[in-house]
Chains A and B, each alone.
Chain A
Amino acid sequence: MDREQGLLKALQEAVISGDPRNTEQVAKKAVKEGIDPLLALEEGLGKGISTVGDCFGAGTMFLPELATAADAMQAGTKIFVEELKKSGVERKVVGRVVIGTAAGDVHDIGKTLVATMLVVNGFEIYDLGTDNSAKKFVEAVRQYQPDIVGISALITTAMVGQRDVLEALAEYNLRSKVKVIVGGGPVTAEWAEQIGADGYAVNAVEAVITIKALMGINQ
């Protein structure tokens, strides 16, 4: 028991210190010592990242800590997910999100922030980066089968790209399979409604809340 507690604590600390290489090593060591991967994910890595999230909310940790902790979390998660696959156990993630910036738009700071906050909250993220055509979103939805698609637009001309993604999803009969959330500077709740998106959020914290609500997750 003590040994298990020690490993969980080491995983938490590795995430909190935001060092992906170290987290990977600690995770490998834990696997070797026979830790339950689900326990390691929840009570080890998960607890570590939620500590970072809480500290960020409280203003004692900042974006560089949050971003590196999210990376560390993902590095460790990979190791345990592989273990789970070997044993045939399905791992439950909070949700899968495909996120990217609309066509013609290279602004990515806000989008990346939303993705980081989602990682911190236990979501699996597929970040498509910037300047994505509707087709790219469609392909990503086919490939990753996400619960949520998030589209960012910072320039008014790129807002049209958000509408194009919704239309393309409908065209390929994928619209009912995902919930779509939009955001970015000029985007408003009215615009989201006008183009038939399921949700809108003004910032990264609200994005997490809205996405959870869309998925029917109790907060």
Chain B
Amino acid sequence: MTLAGFTCKNPIELLTQDEKEAIHEKTLEILKNTGVVFKWEPALKVLKGAGCNVDFESQRVKFPRDVVEGALKSCPSSFRIKARDPKYDQEFTMDRVYFVNQTGPAIYDFDTGVRRGATVKDLSEITRICDALENIHGVNPPNLGVADRPPEVGFEWATAAMIRNSTKGAWTASGVFTVQWLIEMAKAAGIQMLIATTCESPLTYPADQCDAIMRIAKEGWGMFTDTGGECGASSPATLAGTVLQVNTELMAGLVLQQVVNPGVGFLRVTMATPMDMRNGYYAIGIEGYMLAAANASMSRFYNIPSASFDSLTGGKLPTDQQVGYEKAMSYLLLAQAGVGYIIGAGGIDDEACVSIEQIVIDNEMFGMIGRYLQGITVNEETLAADIIQRVGPIPGNFLKEAHTKKWWREEQYLPTLNYRLSYKEWIRDGSKDVAARARERAQEILRIHEVPPLPEDADREISRILEAAEKEKLDK
């Protein structure tokens, strides 16, 4: 069975081999001399058992070189995450490229253009739209809070809405001591989930995230570990320094995971971006995209797949050019750099909002990038030297050639949202911009696209888990 997703055969490298080796050596030096804090006793214990130097009082762990090398050796270069529909299983390898949607604390209301919190119904609908779009290869809860449920159980409800409304490969954030409920729900649905665990820069893993790493590792599921690093605030102002810090933090997380369960897959994820020194917000733009590309370079150095949250835009509306050009630059660069899992569809305003129109627009961008990744096929037949000589010079043309009939469809990606007709026809068709056309497409999808429901007992079990989580958290 061919799986969904693209392939990047010749990734561009932002770092030379010498630079990667230097970063690796410095990583080992930091891990050995300064180490990383894990604010979770059980993590400290297993790391000590594995030969790390652990100071239980300061919760600081220092890593001897051989422990790190052992983890690198046991970590596989590919792993699979089981989806509801096997054709959407996600296979993380050294050359797969997946595009998935982004999450945020609010949505841009489809009908009114007002920003608001998402309800369970919104999350279900948005997931259904992602399920229908051919170039969105996996799904993520479009919001992590849910406006019509208690905030304590927002992650659980959002994750349940995702599982129920798509058969594609799923990922979600672990939250704060929430991961056990998420794992239970995935098991009820008979799937695995990529669950994000996060390092707090610089050099610290919070208690809840250590707990999540250990639980996911014990399940034997491949894991997503990400680290931020806001250059100039929580990591060095230099891009090189941030690449080094990200590398060090990911390596520490990898060791914990491999110590708990050797041989389980690991996804090296970054969301590092500089800080805008004028106001403290993310300085979203090319530097963050470069950091994601550099992390992909380092990941190839280790033969471990990579991912990124860095395809951010600061633009606020799906009609804003800033959204379009930032996303185009970022998606294309990341795909060219071989980032294996690119998160971003639908995201606007940093990570603060999700727009349905934007999901549909991004799907089209992904299609074009998928075409780019296929590259140019060069052989006797595609070179068409014989045909050029037979048809040319003018007045010959290629329109009626059998070669044209056969090949144009292979060679061109056919966008369905882009408008390519004349200005006069555009006026005739209602003068709609791309966001308006995307909205119509989304409405159409909601009308016709159905997602097979979960088996009844699985659905019931998920409801039971939600109730149990709610009871435990609200009674506290």
User: Do A157 and B105 touch across chains, with their CB atoms under 8 A apart?
Assistant: no
Interface status of B177 (Cβ within 8 A of chain A) = yes
Chain B residues with Cβ below 8 Å from A157 are 145, 151-152, 154-155, 175-176, 178
Interface bracket on A: 20 to 34
User: Do A59 and B230 touch across chains, with their CB atoms under 8 A apart?
Assistant: no
Q: Assuming A105-B176, A106-B200, A106-B206, is B277 touching A159 (CB within 8 A)?
A: no
- CB-contact partner of B105 in A109, A110, A185, A204, under 8 A: A185
Nearest opposing residue in chain B for A158, CB measure: B176
Interface status of A62 (Cβ within 8 A of chain B) = yes
User: Do A155 and B176 touch across chains, with their CB atoms under 8 A apart?
Assistant: yes
Chain B nearest CB: distance from A141 CB in Å? 23
User: Do A113 and B280 touch across chains, with their CB atoms under 8 A apart?
Assistant: yes
Residues in A143-158 with C-beta less than 8 Å from chain B = 155-158
User: Do B234 and A64 touch across chains, with their CB atoms under 8 A apart?
Assistant: no
Interface status of B278 (Cβ within 8 A of chain A) = yes
Chain A residues with Cβ below 8 Å from B152 are 157, 160
- CB-contact partner of A156 in B145, B200, B278, under 8 A: B145
- CB-contact partner of B154 in A62, A113, A156, under 8 A: A156
- The docked-state distance in angstroms from the alpha carbon of A165 to that of B255 is 37
Interface status of B188 (Cβ within 8 A of chain A) = no
- The docked-state distance in angstroms from the alpha carbon of A211 to that of B95 is 53
- The docked-state distance in angstroms from the alpha carbon of A64 to that of B230 is 13
Q: Assuming A156-B105, A160-B151, is B277 touching A62 (CB within 8 A)?
A: yes
Chain A residues with Cβ below 8 Å from B279 are 63, 203
Chain B residues with Cβ below 8 Å from A113 are 280
B-side interface mostly: loop
Chain A residues with Cβ below 8 Å from B178 are 157
Q: Assuming A106-B200, A113-B280, A160-B152, is B352 touching A185 (CB within 8 A)?
A: yes
User: Do A159 and B280 touch across chains, with their CB atoms under 8 A apart?
Assistant: no
- The docked-state distance in angstroms from the alpha carbon of A191 to that of B208 is 26
Interface status of B232 (Cβ within 8 A of chain A) = yes
Nearest opposing residue in chain A for B176, CB measure: A104
Residues in A28-70 with C-beta less than 8 Å from chain B = 59, 62-64
Q: Assuming A63-B277, A109-B233, A186-B145, is B206 touching A159 (CB within 8 A)?
A: no
Nearest opposing residue in chain A for B146, CB measure: A156
User: Do B277 and A109 touch across chains, with their CB atoms under 8 A apart?
Assistant: no
Chain B residues with Cβ below 8 Å from A155 are 144, 175-176
Nearest opposing residue in chain B for A154, CB measure: B105
- The docked-state distance in angstroms from the alpha carbon of A111 to that of B42 is 30
Chain A residues with Cβ below 8 Å from B230 are 109
- CB-contact partner of B280 in A106, A109, A160, under 8 A: A109
User: Do A63 and B176 touch across chains, with their CB atoms under 8 A apart?
Assistant: no
Interface status of B275 (Cβ within 8 A of chain A) = yes
Chain B residues with Cβ below 8 Å from A104 are 176-177, 208
Q: Assuming A62-B278, A63-B277, A64-B277, is B200 touching A159 (CB within 8 A)?
A: no
Chain A residues with Cβ below 8 Å from B144 are 155-156
User: Do A131 and B206 touch across chains, with their CB atoms under 8 A apart?
Assistant: yes
Interface string of B139-173 (1 = CB under 8 A from A): 00000110000011011000000000000000000
Q: In this complex, which of A157, A159, A160 has the most chain B Cβ atoms within 10 angstroms of its Cβ?
A: A157
Q: In this complex, which of A59, A63, A104, A156 has the most chain B Cβ atoms within 10 angstroms of its Cβ?
A: A156
Chain B nearest CB: distance from A133 CB in Å? 12
Interface bracket on B: 20 to 34
Chain A residues with Cβ below 8 Å from B352 are 185
Nearest opposing residue in chain A for B282, CB measure: A109
Chain A nearest CB: distance from B132 CB in Å? 27
Chain B residues with Cβ below 8 Å from A156 are 105, 144-145, 151, 154
Chain B residues with Cβ below 8 Å from A185 are 105, 352
Q: Assuming A110-B280, A156-B105, A186-B145, is B175 touching A64 (CB within 8 A)?
A: no
- The docked-state distance in angstroms from the alpha carbon of A62 to that of B276 is 9
Chain A nearest CB: distance from B157 CB in Å? 11
- The docked-state distance in angstroms from the alpha carbon of A106 to that of B210 is 13
Nearest opposing residue in chain A for B106, CB measure: A186
- The docked-state distance in angstroms from the alpha carbon of A175 to that of B352 is 32
- The docked-state distance in angstroms from the alpha carbon of A203 to that of B352 is 15
Chain B residues with Cβ below 8 Å from A203 are 279
Interface string of B171-188 (1 = CB under 8 A from A): 000011110000000000
Q: In this complex, which of B177, B232, B280 has the most chain A Cβ atoms within 10 angstroms of its Cβ?
A: B280
- The docked-state distance in angstroms from the alpha carbon of A103 to that of B301 is 38
Chain B nearest CB: distance from A69 CB in Å? 14
Residues in A65-106 with C-beta less than 8 Å from chain B = 104-106
Q: In this complex, which of B106, B144, B176, B200 has the most chain A Cβ atoms within 10 angstroms of its Cβ?
A: B176
Chain B residues with Cβ below 8 Å from A131 are 206
Residues in B277-322 with C-beta less than 8 Å from chain A = 277-280
- The docked-state distance in angstroms from the alpha carbon of A34 to that of B155 is 61
- The docked-state distance in angstroms from the alpha carbon of A185 to that of B144 is 13
Q: Assuming A104-B176, A155-B176, is B278 touching A59 (CB within 8 A)?
A: yes
- The docked-state distance in angstroms from the alpha carbon of A59 to that of B278 is 7
- The docked-state distance in angstroms from the alpha carbon of A160 to that of B473 is 11
Chain B residues with Cβ below 8 Å from A105 are 176
Chain A nearest CB: distance from B289 CB in Å? 21
Chain A residues with Cβ below 8 Å from B206 are 106, 131
Chain B residues with Cβ below 8 Å from A159 are 151
- The docked-state distance in angstroms from the alpha carbon of A156 to that of B277 is 26
Nearest opposing residue in chain B for A63, CB measure: B277
Nearest opposing residue in chain B for A64, CB measure: B277
Chain B residues with Cβ below 8 Å from A186 are 105-106, 145
9 cross-chain CB contacts under 8 A? A63-B278, A63-B280, A105-B176, A106-B200, A106-B206, A113-B280, A155-B176, A158-B176, A203-B279
Q: Nearest 8 CB-CB pairs, A to B?
A: A156-B145, A62-B277, A104-B176, A186-B105, A113-B280, A63-B277, A156-B151, A156-B154
A interface vs B, CB < 8 Å? 59, 62-64, 104-106, 109-110, 113, 131, 155-160, 185-186, 203-204
Q: In the complex, given contacts A156-B151, A158-B176, A160-B151, what are 16 additional A-B residue pairs having Cβ atoms less than 8 angstroms apart?
A: A59-B278, A63-B233, A63-B275, A63-B279, A63-B280, A64-B277, A109-B230, A109-B233, A109-B275, A131-B206, A155-B144, A157-B145, A157-B155, A157-B178, A185-B105, A203-B279
